[in-house]
Amino acid sequence: MELYPFVESHGLIGDMQTAALIADDGTLDWFCAPRFDSPSVFAGLLDHKKGGYLRIAPHGADYVRKEQLYLPGAPILITRFLTPDGVGEIIDFMPVAGDTATDRHCIVRLISVVRGTMRFRIDCQPRFNYGRDPHEVEMYTDGAVFRSPTLSITLHRVRHADQPPDEVEIERDGDGVRAFATLRQGASGGLLVETGSSEPPRLIAPEEIRSMYEQTRDFWRGWLGGSCYAGRWREAVERSALTLKLLTYAPTGALIAAPTAGLPEQIGGTRNWDYRYAWIRDASWSVYALLGLGLTEEAQRYLRWLNDRICEAADRATPLHHMYRVDGSTALDEEELDHLEGYRRSRPVRIGNAAADQLQLDIYGEALSAIHLADTQGLRSSHQAWLNTVKLIDWLCEHWDRPDEGIWETRGGRQDFTFGRLMSWVALDRAIRLAQRHGVPAEINRWTTERDKIYRQIMNRGYHSGRRAFVQHYGNDVLDAALLSMPAVGFIAPDDPMWQSTLRAMDDELVSDSLVYRYNPTASPDGLAGSEGTFSMCTFWYVEALARSGRLNDALITFEKMLTYSTHLGLYGEEIGPTGEQLGNFPQAFSHLALINTAMVLDQSMPAPPAPCHVPLGPLVRRDPLRG
């Protein structure tokens, strides 16, 4: 088990077409190429023997301790080792790949010694296509090439600065390579991993690496500099914004849910999904976060991606898919990788996602809410985009009263989920507002009739009089944290007695010392075995619901507690386990979106700090410090 670094011990680097996870012991154990949703090159996170890894660590030395941090304002990761013989660092980053899809991606792993002398060991053991494809190894003086039937990677050596090049030893080690480097104080070197290159390995000059580093640093700091957020918790908000940007596939603007697949919601459990895809829900909520940060151009990119998906659905006269590959395709056939043991023996490991075929009615509300918000900020849709939206809403008028699988993608059969009805109400309400605001063609009378039907149905069937709470779906009495958003979307007043009693019921049943469960799977069978942790996005929703309901002090302490559950790098997975560990795929866009939106709501809910009091200074009088 110790061979698997904890999920929370990892940092994320990326180039906005793919990404890599690096643990605080110097192990790169997750990387897919050439895209987020491509097969893996390194997947040691899912099988330490068969998955592949690239590790750099001190050799023959015991750590006093290890540390990991991000360079402020950038996804440049610094891993530091403190040993009796010296202090060494690894600086990891990926140069930005650009907006054009490419097979060529680079991971830079720069090694330096800041004090004393250290000997590092480098082990590169790639395993292509989740460890299913064989590969050949070609050795060179300055590196190696690994060739599989579908992809090749090249290992280039970075010339050591302030040190003779013969201090580095490189040799073949089975299906990989092993290298040793002894560095003295002030020396630096390392390696560069490149995918899709036809060139042989070369000795890269330190000046070239420094140029890559500076360009990468300046790009990210320049991008983050466009944010206008000046509220509380700025460091957490900005790190979350950078994480969302890292999870964006630049060529299409798609936002993936997470860069990983198969990480469990329960250690040893079976709820292990592939999240390397783009959900309508995530893209829609990202518009809220980005507009709130003042990143209008980024919000427009997500809106274009969203409108492209709406256009495709309108052209086909079919429902809107809720999940897509990063290129906009919908082929996500689910497959189990039986040859992998899974993270800490959590099986099965799945790639693809069968939930892509589900009906999830809530996505219409999230999409229309984002479009409506953008419109209020001056980002008006085109004429054709409106015509496509009309087709979407007309379809919803016909189908909103159907059972669906719901926001949590349960596999226990379709139900009349209250949240699906709630967000269908939001979709119709926001569409009506858009049509009335701009005087554009729409069947407003029909839309209003259907909207009001939904409202009455939720009030009559979604509220359980015995529980005195809105419930997960009609006919049961199970609470669902998704309904924490009811006041936020304007469906019910936060001081309405029906909502206040719902919130109290959730306090009693779904909240565990400020952390919030989605629902009780024992009380509401979801077709899946096992249990799960608290859901981080729901905890942030709970904070917002508390603030809107007048419980500002409760909201503040819950939010502050939640911040302490982040990793040492300020990252969140999907869930938090019983002992505070991160569970599910990592890092999770949902969690970081919710953090940003909740921080903004909470910051605006708090009273402004008092103005500084300027007291004119009188003559300086010496005082006895003990007498006053």
If you average pLDDT over residues 244-250, what whole number do you get? 97
At residue 242, does pLDDT exceed 80? Answer: yes
At residue 131, does pLDDT exceed 70? Answer: yes
| CATH number of the domain encompassing residue 507 | 1.50.10.20
d(CA 479, CA 468): 11
At residue 464, does pLDDT exceed 90? Answer: yes
If you average pLDDT over residues 319-347, what whole number do you get? 96
Per residue in 510-561, pLDDT tens? 999 999 999 987 766 666 766 789 999 999 999 999 999 999 999 999 999 9
pLDDT-wise least confident of 293-302, 324-333, 365-374, 612-621: 612-621
Q: Is 611 exposed, middle or buried (0-12, 13-18, 19+ CB in 10 A)?
A: exposed
State which amino acid sits at residue 615.
Answer: V
Is there a single domain that holds both residue 405 and residue 519? no
The reported pLDDT for the residue numbered 162 is: 65
What's phi and psi for 458, nearest 5 deg?
-65, -45
- What tokens does 516 get? 């919030």
Is there a single domain that holds both residue 18 and residue 52? yes
pLDDT-wise least confident of 347-361, 374-388, 522-536, 560-574: 522-536
If you average pLDDT over residues 186-211, what whole number do you get? 93
Give 65 or 356, the one with higher predicted confidence: 356
The reported pLDDT for the residue numbered 524 is: 64
User: What is the rounded end-to-end Cα distance, in angstroms, of the chain?
Assistant: 61
Is there a single domain that holds both residue 26 and residue 166? yes
Residue 313 lies in a domain: yes
At residue 246, does pLDDT exceed 70? Answer: yes
Is there a single domain that holds both residue 404 and residue 312? yes
SS3 state of residue 165: helix
Residue 330 lies in a domain: no
If you average pLDDT over residues 436-451, what whole number do you get? 97
The reported pLDDT for the residue numbered 128 is: 98
Is there a single domain that holds both residue 100 and residue 129? yes
How many residues does the structure list for the chain? Answer: 628
Residue 195 lies in a domain: yes
257 contacts 248 by C-beta, under 8 angstroms? no
Residue 244 lies in a domain: no
CA distances from 607 to 250, 558, 602 (A): 39, 18, 10
Which is nearest to 132 in space by CA: 232, 40, 20? 40
Is there a single domain that holds both residue 103 and residue 15? yes
pLDDT above 70: percentage of residues in the chain: 94
pLDDT confidence tier of residue 159, bands split at 50, 70 and 90: confident
Which is nearest to 290 in space by CA: 233, 228, 231, 235? 228
The reported pLDDT for the residue numbered 317 is: 85
Residue 161 lies in a domain: yes
d(CA 562, CA 582): 12
Q: Is the peptide bond before 616 cis (omega within 30 degrees of 0)?
A: no
Residue with tokens 């999240």: 275
Which is nearest to 353 in space by CA: 308, 411, 306, 414? 411
Number of domains in the chain: 3
CA distances from 98 to 14, 58, 251 (A): 12, 34, 8
Residue 452 lies in a domain: yes
Which DSSP helix (H) or strand (E) runs through 118? strand 105-125
At residue 1, does pLDDT exceed 80? Answer: no
If you average pLDDT over residues 158-169, what whole number do you get? 67
Which is nearest to 111 in space by CA: 177, 10, 184? 184
d(CA 601, CA 290): 14
The reported pLDDT for the residue numbered 608 is: 73
Residue 36 lies in a domain: yes
Show the domain range for 124.
7-199+209-219
| CATH number of the domain encompassing residue 77 | 2.70.98.50
At residue 610, does pLDDT exceed 70? Answer: no
Which is nearest to 89 in space by CA: 62, 59, 60, 109? 109
Is there a single domain that holds both residue 447 and residue 591? no
At residue 2, does pLDDT exceed 50? Answer: yes
At residue 168, does pLDDT exceed 80? Answer: no
Q: Is 155 exposed, middle or buried (0-12, 13-18, 19+ CB in 10 A)?
A: buried
Summary mean pLDDT of the chain: 93
559 contacts 544 by C-beta, under 8 angstroms? no
pLDDT confidence tier of residue 626, bands split at 50, 70 and 90: very low
pLDDT confidence tier of residue 356, bands split at 50, 70 and 90: very high
Per residue in 66-94, pLDDT tens? 999 999 999 999 999 999 889 999 999 99
d(CA 91, CA 70): 9
pLDDT above 90: percentage of residues in the chain: 87
At residue 337, does pLDDT exceed 50? Answer: yes
The reported pLDDT for the residue numbered 318 is: 86
The reported pLDDT for the residue numbered 412 is: 82
Per residue in 501-514, pLDDT tens? 999 999 999 999 99
If you average pLDDT over residues 297-303, what whole number do you get? 93
| CATH number of the domain encompassing residue 299 | 1.50.10.10
pLDDT confidence tier of residue 615, bands split at 50, 70 and 90: very low
